[in-house]
Chain A
Amino acid sequence: MKVMTKISVRFWRGFDSVADPILKLFLEIGNIFILLGELLAATFRILTCPRKLRHFYYQPIMEQMVRVGVDSIPVVLTTALFTGMVLAVQTGVTIEAKIKGSSMFIGNIVNLALIRELGPVLTAILVTGRVGSAMAAEIGSMKITEQIDALRTLAANPVEYIGVPRFLGVLCMMPMLTILADVLGSLGGWLVSSFHLGISSTVYWDGAQSTVGLADIFSGLSKSFFFAIILCIFALHRGFQTYGGAVGVGRSTTGAVVNASITILIADYFLTQLYALF
């Protein structure tokens, strides 16, 4: 009997050490969804609150829009331009060498790839690196210096006060940046195909027009909304959970960027599959 207890205790201990990380993971996932719920509820509250209170949020929201949107433009534009250019080279040179005549489809391929995939995904990853990291670091240092606590004692809900302006900023700006990225990438492709590969502009733009439909544009832009949500949630989650001084802030920042980026890429796959059903 005694032996049995011993074994079962040991069994449970062993089980514990295996179950612990799994349990923690589920707990984390649960927390993330709770935060998502709070964030959406808080956003709704602010968008529907009386005018008098709403003016309190105008400035922070505008500030975030500038920080997310305007300040990200150079990075996004450069990246998109060169991505469009490299896509054109790959289609017009590399694929052309293997499959004759494929460079006639350069406009179709470059634009479809950009609008459906590369535009939203690259923009989301770039914005995550720029904005998500800053967000997690900022909130993290507010947490360790008790500013989050101070907010709560002054009856300000941190999710509402810190989370919502950032969320709205990213949510509005991500699709805008994605559109810019699409346009610049397309221009990059056109530059390469007409000046380097000597393909006429008409072929390029006709190709683009005949392939890219409303559904593709919708697919790309709606993805960028989801990516915006993912980015915000991870940045806020890690930021609010920060503990342990400057090291903790670093940990949160890295964690936010890595988790958000991975989740964005995974979500991209599933969203693409989902859209394929329709």
Chain B
Amino acid sequence: MIRIVNLYKSFGSNHVLRGVDLEIRKGETMVIIGRSGEGKSVLLKTIVKLLEPDHGEIWFGGKNITAAGEKEKEAYLRRFGVLFQGAALFDSLSVEENVSFGLRRMKNLPEKEIARIVRERLAMVGLRDIEGKYPSELSGGMKKRVALARAIAMDPEVILYDEPTTGVDPIMADAINDLILDMKKKLSLTSVAVTHDMVSAYKIADRMAMLHEGRIVGMGTPAQIKKSRNPLIRQFISGSAQGPIRLV
């Protein structure tokens, strides 16, 4: 469904992505693992056009969207929901206004209907009666969940999760994992998740790929990854400071 071909992105002399090739199939959850600072967030942002690649292509459903015009791009972006690493809730707006932001702008729905959708989406992420609260009144985990509700409010086909479980307690992390699995089932979503939480990765992934030094160095199902002989992958999944991946 999404095909990333030979993607390059650098910031000045910092070459972050150096030829990423990755294919994400319809309906699957692809988990991208990799060390902090390897460019996982940059990769996600490039997919939704928040960053322009220096080189390479992104194909979506048979269309090269790197070369698409404004109109096409907009239609393309509407098919995505994004959960940002830091939740990125609009802090001048209430929870209700955050979740309904896209709905109000893009769909011409009566207020009642909007309120219903907001309530329903919040319930899906295990929250209720917080519509009137502001982001500053929420805990980190609640913010993540509100952001998730906002990302799924528009019924996207593809959802990008940037570290959905980082910064929440293990129980909440597992609840979020369940949520991701649940939403995939209910909304038949295609998902791309970035994480370095291996527990979460194994649980939600259909396939996993490891990003290292700007390239995908290995890919497979969780079972294949667990058995992988690739020393880079072995070191990462066992969380060892010793191995081919150097710390600096």
Contact = CB atoms under 8 A, between A and B. Distances in A.
A149 B50 contact: yes
Interface stretch (B32-40, B85-93, B220-228): B85-93
B108 A149 contact: no
9 contacts: A142-B90, A145-B88, A147-B89, A149-B82, A150-B88, A155-B102, A155-B105, A155-B106, A156-B105
A150 B102 contact: no
Interface residues of B, number: 25
B102 to A, nearest CB: 4
B84 A149 contact: yes
Contact of A155 (B45, B74, B89, B150): B74
B82 A150 contact: yes
The 10 A-B pairs at the shortest CB distance, nearest first, are namely A146-B88, A150-B88, A154-B102, A146-B84, A153-B82, A149-B50, A147-B88, A154-B101, A145-B86, A153-B48
A13 interface: no
Given A56-B105, A153-B48, A147 B91 contact: yes
B105 A149 contact: no
A144 to B, nearest CB: 9
Given A149-B45, A149-B50, A153-B77, A56 B104 contact: yes
Contacts of B101: 154, 156
Query: In this complex, which of B50, B80, B88, B104 has the most chain A Cβ atoms within 10 angstroms of its Cβ?
Result: B88
Given A147-B90, A149-B84, A151-B90, 17 more contacts: A56-B104, A145-B86, A145-B88, A145-B91, A146-B84, A146-B88, A147-B88, A147-B89, A147-B91, A149-B88, A150-B84, A150-B90, A153-B48, A153-B81, A155-B77, A155-B78, A155-B105
Given A149-B45, A149-B50, A154 B88 contact: no
A152 interface: yes
Q: How large is the interface on A (under 10, 10 to 19, 20 to 34, 35 or more residues)?
A: 10 to 19
A191 B101 CA distance: 53
Question: Chain A's interface: helix, strand, loop or mixed, by majority?
Answer: helix
Interface of A: 52, 56, 142, 145-147, 149-156
Contacts of B88: 145-147, 149-150
Query: In this complex, which of A52, A145, A153 has the most chain B Cβ atoms within 10 angstroms of its Cβ?
Result: A153
A147 B135 CA distance: 12
A56 B102 CA distance: 12
Contacts of B81: 153
Contacts of B104: 56
Nearest to B49: A152
Contacts of A150: 82, 84, 88-90
Contacts of A153: 48, 50, 77, 80-82
Contacts of B49: 152
Interface in B59-92: 74, 77-78, 80-82, 84-86, 88-91
Nearest to A53: B105
Nearest to A141: B91
